[in-house]
Structure 1
Amino acid sequence: MKKELLFAFAAFFFMSLSAITGVYAVEEANMLESVIVKEQMDVTGDGKLDTIYVKGEPFEEGAIFLRSITLEILSATGKDHKINLEGGYEPRIDFKDLNNDGVKDLFLAVNTGGSGGLSNHYLYTVKDDQLTDLTVPAPLVIQTSFLNGYKANMTIENTNESYQFDLRNRAKDYERLGLYHNGKLNEPAELMVLPFGTLKPVKVTGNQLGLKGSQRISGAYNADSIAYVESSWLYENAQWKLLDTNVMELRRNTTKKKK
């Protein structure tokens, strides 16, 4: 009987300890979470101010990286909307009417860190107090390949436009890396095409707001930047429409040819 009581007390003790530890862990997480952004803006379209919070929980106390980010919209009616976002650095929010319906939307950018200079982007509307994820346009679909003679070709599938880059002044570097041998490719190779590094609200046509994105094209390694490809987008009929593209080569001449 004494043994049974001992086991019962031991089990109760460890269960209590586990529960207390869990409570402290939750409390510690709540203490670490902080409000990064607090704004008041009418985002439902009823003419009353709503309160918008962007909250972040750092990876550890004093860390810059936020392992979790939450967007919270407390509407003037008292309705609470919460969205969990991916972790990152320095979340930023902009209020723009990007779907052109007369009500400001919530556009967020969160740096992901690393040498690529990339960010995650989010777009939401809370018109009529209904939360809707508008998403953002997908990056351009770009096919690339190195060519013999220290050249490279790039085709934007969205527009069927091709560009050729002259990379002869990188010849020594590419030979040293083994990409070329006496101007001939050692094996088929592609350039590095990054997703949107930046995506910003801008006027794209008349007074209509849209988004302008920029993607970096690199060569043999990430820092071997060759060009930036810009694209302009308009939200129309519940989807993103590509308006135009622009290729800006870095310190090189570009030849553009339409297929």
Structure 2
Amino acid sequence: MIRNFNRMLIALSLLLVLILIAGCTGKTAPTPPSSNLPPAKPVNDPVLPAGYVILDRQVGNITSDGKPRDILLIGRKPNANSNFTDDLSLLVRDETSPNAVTVKLPNVGGYDSKLFVGEFDGDKINDVFVTIPTGGSGGIMEHRIVTFSGEPKVIFGSSENKGIVAAGRFVDGFKFELRERSTERTVAIDLISKMNTYVKANLYDTTGKLLRQQSGSVNPFGELTPVDIGRDGTYELRGQQRITGMYNADTVGYIYSIWKYENSVWIPKQIEASSVLLDFAMSK
């Protein structure tokens, strides 16, 4: 009797195990993700038209409400194999709102453009400073400053990027005479470090007498750097411009200037002109 009962228990146990196995094998296993699927985009990246890329990105308080904004510099790559971009624009977004503000930066393009967030116009609200290396042989840089306090607008554009406007000419004694427009002052730049070059070019004789008339020019900004000179939280701009002589690669000196935004205008507060005492290209 007991032996028969034990046999029944064993049979029931085997039956229960078979039922459990059948139930498990009847379930559908989850499908593993396909390795061919593209990775998910970060939720913060906007959908851009074909050929457009994000060049730089910053987060900052640039409006009067004090909320941090996602600030993106966007450009178009005409050639996928080049870093050059044009059709630049600033895209500003509030993460709590689907709305975005776009400001176009027309007629400018370059390489490895960058953003800087700081206060420039004196209203104690940050602005957006854009640096755009043009990639030209003259080392010219384009810069833009956009304010978003109130209606967005460009407060530093292509005309401001010309910097100090001056005209120059070679004169006797291995000198370059530079006349600055806003101050109407003239300064003589010493060219003695390039004496041999100018003698070989038949611009001067060995005594320093000018053999022919030759003018020069001043390039737009090659560098423009935010500097808080007054240490009051508002940035000024320190600029450098190259003075060229017989041709664009002929550097005769530099103009250094400091600019401040006052009454909706950029005003030069300091202007210096320097001579080239040792030319890098000639010292090799």
Question: Which range, TM-score by smaller chain?
Answer: 0.7 to 0.9
Alignment identity in percent?
A: 26
* SS of aligned partner of 2:123: coil
**Alpha-carbon separation, structure 1, partners of 2:274 and 2:152:** 37
Residue 200 (structure 1) aligned with residue 222 (structure 2): no
> How much has 1:67 moved relative to structure 2?
3.2
Does 2:136 match 1:132? no
Specify whether residues 165 and 248 from structure 1 end up closer, same or farther in structure 2 by C-alpha distance, changes over 3 A only.
Answer: closer
Whether the 8 Å CA contact 2:169–2:178 is kept in 1: the answer is: yes
From 201, 213, 219, the equivalent of 1:188 is 213
Q: Which deviates the most, 99-108 or 67-76?
A: 67-76
TM-score normalised by length of structure 1: 0.78
Match of 2:185 among 116, 138, 161: 161
Separation in 2, partners of 1:238, 1:196: 20
- Which consecutive segments of 4 or more residues in structure 1 shift more than 6 A? none
1:69–1:79 CA distance, 2 compared to 1 (3 A):
closer
- Give, as a single letter, the amino acid of the residue that structure 1 aligns with 2:236: G
Higher strand share: 1
**CA drift at 1:181:** 4.4
Tell me the residue number matched to 1:87. Answer: 109
> Does the 8 A contact of 2:254 with 2:274 survive in 1?
yes
| 1:87–1:200 Cα change, 3 Å | same
Question: 1:143-182 residue pairs with structure 2 within 5 A?
Answer: 143-181=167-205
Is contact 1:89-1:112 (8 Å) kept?
Answer: yes
Distance in 1 between residues matched to 2:178 and 2:67, nearest whole Å: 49
Structure 1 residues 185-222: Cα deviation after superposition (integer angstroms, max 9, x where no partner): 33321123111111111123342421111111122233
Residue type at the aligned position of 1:80: V
Q: Tell me the amino acid that sits aligned with residue 261 of structure 2.
A: Y
Deviation sequence 1:84-122 (CA, Å, 0-9, x none): 442111111111110010110011010111221111111
Contact 2:225 2:237 in 1 (8 A): yes
Contact 1:234 1:243 in 2 (8 A): yes
Q: Which has the higher helix share?
A: 1
Report the equivalent of 2:135.
113
Tell me what 1:102 maps to: 124
Rounded to whole Å, the distance in 2 between the matches of 1:168 and 1:241 is: 33
1:102 & 1:169 partners in 2: Cα distance? Answer: 46
- Distance in 2 between the 1:97 and 1:162 partners? 34
Check if 1:58 corresponds to 2:77: yes
- 1:59-74 maps to which residues of 2 (within 5 A)? 59-74=78-93
Match of 2:10 in 1: none
Q: Which runs of 5+ in 2 are unaligned?
A: 1-47, 279-284
Deviation, 1:80, is: 2.2
Select which of 222, 228, 232 maps to 2:248: 222
Q: Quick one: which of 246, 249, 255 aligns to 2:275?
A: 249
Give the SS at the match of 2:200: helix
1:45 to 35, 42, 64: 64
Taking the aligned partners of 2:86 and 2:100, their CA distance within structure 1 comes to 26
> Is the CA contact (8 Å cut-off) linking 2:193 and 2:277 kept in structure 1?
no
Tell me, in whole angstroms, the C-alpha distance in 1 between the residues paired with 2:113 and 2:192: 40
- Contact 2:216/2:244, CA 8 A, preserved across alignment: yes
> Contact 1:174–1:220 (CA<8 Å) still a contact in 2?
no
Using a 3 Å threshold, how does the CA distance of structure 1 residues 148 and 100 change in structure 2: closer, same or farther? Answer: same
Q: TM-score, normalised by structure 2?
A: 0.71
| C-alpha RMSD over aligned residues | 2.1
How much has 1:159 moved relative to structure 2? Answer: 2.3
Q: Which moved more, 1:117-126 or 1:57-66?
A: 57-66
